[in-house]
Amino acid sequence: MSLPRETSAITLSLSDENATAALAARLTPCLAPGWVVHLVGPLGAGKTTFVRAILRALGHTGPVKSPTYGLVELYPVSGLNLYHFDFYRFATPEEFYAAGLEEYFDGTGVCLVEWPEKAAALAPGADLTITIEPRPDGSREVRLTASTPRARQCLNRLAAP
């Protein structure tokens, strides 16, 4: 008897913001302290919208803004400290350390990182990478890629019928 193969990536088509919110709601039970999630995609792809949907699924009712200028926003919600980062303005990866952001990745919170490639290899690696590609019809193609065993377990739950 062979065991089912673990899923390490899932690609989905999301037709609109409601579909994004539904995916975020299915993802949130996986999130626990120490998780790092990278959100990748061009400007306007929907990275902040995805973070907002995660926060709403966790019960946050206040505003959710992109941390482009402040670099990080903290949301204490559902017993989690959720940190929303945006590295878009980094001119060099070293700005990650210059900004003192490494202390947030100590394993006590959930870190959602927009534009992680701007910090290159200096920022901690992701458990889960969410790549969002907009399509001309307004829909989004979303690829979830697991890099750790706990993220693969999460994708297996998402892929289950």
Q: Encoding tokens for residue 56?
A: 């709403």
pTM of the model: 0.91
Q: Which stretches does DSSP call E strand in the chain? A: 9-14, 36-40, 72-77, 80-86, 110-114, 128-134, 140-146
Q: Report, as an integer, the average pLDDT of 48-76.
A: 90
Rounded-to-integer distance, Cα 147 and Cα 131, Å: 13
For the residues 11-19, what does the mean pLDDT come to? 92
Q: Name the least confident of 3-7, 85-89, 152-156.
A: 3-7
Q: What is the pLDDT of residues 109-152, one digit of tens each?
A: 999 999 999 998 888 999 999 999 999 998 999 999 999 999 99
Mean pLDDT over each residue of the chain, to the nearest integer: 90
Question: What mean pLDDT do residues 98-103 have?
Answer: 91
Model confidence at 70, in pLDDT bands (50, 70, 90)? Answer: confident
Mean pLDDT in residue range 97-109: 92
* pLDDT confidence tier of residue 6, bands split at 50, 70 and 90: low
Q: Which residues of 117-146 are buried (b: 16+ CB within 10 A; e: fewer)?
A: ebbeebbbebbbbbbbeeeeeeebebebbb
pLDDT, position 104 = 93
Q: What pLDDT, on the 0 to 100 scale, is given for residue 149?
A: 94
Instruction: Give me the percent of the chain exceeding a pLDDT of 70.
Output: 96
Joined tokens for residue 130: 């969410």
Domains and CATH numbers, the chain: 11-149 (3.40.50.300)
Quick one: which of 17, 14, 29 has its CA closest to 156?
Answer: 29
Q: What percent of the chain has pLDDT over 90?
A: 76
| Inter-CA distances, 51 with 1, 11, 113, Å | 40, 18, 9
